[in-house]
Amino acid sequence: MTSPSTDDTAKGSAGRVGILVAQLGTPEAPTAAALRPYLRQFLSDPRVIDLHPLKWLPILYLMVLTRRPRRSARLYQRVWTPQGSPLLIHSRSQERGLQDRLGDRYRVILGMRYGNPSIDAAMETFAREGVDRILLFPMFPQFSCATTGSVYDGVNRAAFGRRCRLFFDRRRRMPTLRTVPPYYDHPAYIDSLKAVVEETVKGLDSTPDLFLFTFHGIPKRYVDEGDPYAEQCQITARLLAASLGLGDDRWTQTFQSRFGREEWLQPYTEDVLKQLGSRDVRRLVVACPGFTADCLETLDEIGREGMQGLRPRKRGRRGLRSAADT
């Protein structure tokens, strides 16, 4: 019995459409050694940090990468599971679920912008299997140059090759690419968020005092320069609040995960949680509508640090319930 040839594999894949499920990424282990290459790749991306390389790279290599991997490793250790990274576990589950729903006419592959499994590896698999029509599905409901824009860069380089004045990739066969647009206001997306929040509320023994919708932040300067992210987050929050029947006094929206000294989108989640902790807000439901899979930012930053920020100083206990949208 002989194994199928490359030509046979390509023929068997004829007519199949590839679905590239693109996520941000995760380190391979919760260790400083694993965090260092992951952070180097992540923080070297000019879509994420757009400072001039001559200014940023010395800071990155001499300061950030000598200190931050150890701190980040301790954070990841708090959320790591026996099966590995929560983000990778949930993303793999989404990959399998989408494949099961779409059937054999489609080939669904997960690709991470940073780390593994990489976008490059996913595109190589499509090429090897003869899948030359590919739909890019970024796992970011709201568009930002720092997330979806960076995924576009990575996929285009993997599909069409690197090119500059002195060198370009002389590949002769390239796929056809299409992209799922931002779905921040899509009814199915809002309905799924509503279902998760309602399920969380059902587990409470009383009515929440307030709902908080927190999104990953970006530098305010990016929005001032045209990034539509803030507006799309606001639309998502309003639509979710309306679907839940919440009045304006029952919900608020914030931004989390600041990095560096530059001003980011406000209000900051950590500041709002501290304010709520000093007020008479005893039951708070927190949802993270911009995250399609649980990760460090939802499990630790909100689930653990957020609880500490809301902790009462003198009076009775307050409760924070997180509605993760995995």
203 in the same domain as 88: no
160 in the same domain as 192: no
Residue 186, pLDDT above cutoff 90 = yes
Sign of CA dihedral 202, 206, 210, 214: negative
* Cβ atoms of 150 and 50 closer than 8 Å: no
Q: Evaluate whether residue 4 is within a structural domain.
A: no
Those residues whose C-beta lies under 8 Å from the C-beta of residue 300, and which sit 6 or more positions away, are: 75, 78, 79
- Domain limits at 232? 187-323
158 in the same domain as 20: yes
Q: Evaluate whether residue 7 is within a structural domain.
A: no
Q: Pick from 160, 179, 198: which residue ends a domain?
A: 179
247 in the same domain as 140: no
pLDDT value at residue 2: 46
Q: Pick from 179, 211, 239: which residue ends a domain?
A: 179
Look at 14 and 160; give whichever has higher pLDDT: 160
57 in the same domain as 25: yes
Number of structural domains found in the chain: 2
265 in the same domain as 215: yes
196 in the same domain as 175: no
Look at 262 and 312; give whichever has higher pLDDT: 262
pLDDT value at residue 259: 86
164 band by pLDDT with thresholds 50, 70 and 90: low
pLDDT value at residue 166: 62
227 in the same domain as 87: no
216 in the same domain as 88: no
Half-sphere exposure of 148 (CA within 13 A, CB side): 20
Q: Evaluate whether residue 9 is within a structural domain.
A: no
Pairing of strands 210-216, 251-256: parallel
Phi-psi region of 109 (alpha: psi -120 to 50; beta: other; left: phi over 0): beta
170 in the same domain as 26: yes
317 band by pLDDT with thresholds 50, 70 and 90: very low
Alpha helices of the chain — where are they, by DSSP H? 6-12, 32-43, 53-59, 65-79, 86-102, 119-128, 148-160, 187-202, 220-224, 229-243, 269-278, 296, 307-310
Count of residues making up the chain = 326
Mean pLDDT of 16-26: 97
Those residues whose C-beta lies under 8 Å from the C-beta of residue 74, and which sit 6 or more positions away, are: none
Give the model confidence (pLDDT) of 222-233 as tens digits.
999 999 999 999
Give the model confidence (pLDDT) of 93-146 as tens digits.
999 999 999 999 999 999 999 999 999 999 999 999 999 999 999 999 999 999
278 in the same domain as 167: no
Q: How far is CA 289 from CA 12, 192, 238, 255, 268, in A?
A: 39, 10, 11, 11, 16
Q: Pick from 131, 149, 179: which residue ends a domain?
A: 179
pLDDT value at residue 165: 60
Sheet strands side by side (includes 319-323): 251-256, 210-216, 283-287, 319-323
289 band by pLDDT with thresholds 50, 70 and 90: very high
Report helix angle 32-43 to 65-79, nearest 10.
Answer: 110
Q: Evaluate whether residue 278 is within a structural domain.
A: yes
* Cβ atoms of 208 and 285 closer than 8 Å: yes
φ, ψ (nearest 5 deg) of residue 307 = -60, -40
- DSSP secondary structure letter of residue 5: P
Q: Evaluate whether residue 167 is within a structural domain.
A: yes
Look at 40 and 319; give whichever has higher pLDDT: 40
Find the CATH number of the domain harbouring 312.
3.40.50.1400
254 in the same domain as 143: no
Look at 163 and 306; give whichever has higher pLDDT: 306
- DSSP secondary structure letter of residue 58: H
Distance CA 112, CA 26 (A): 8
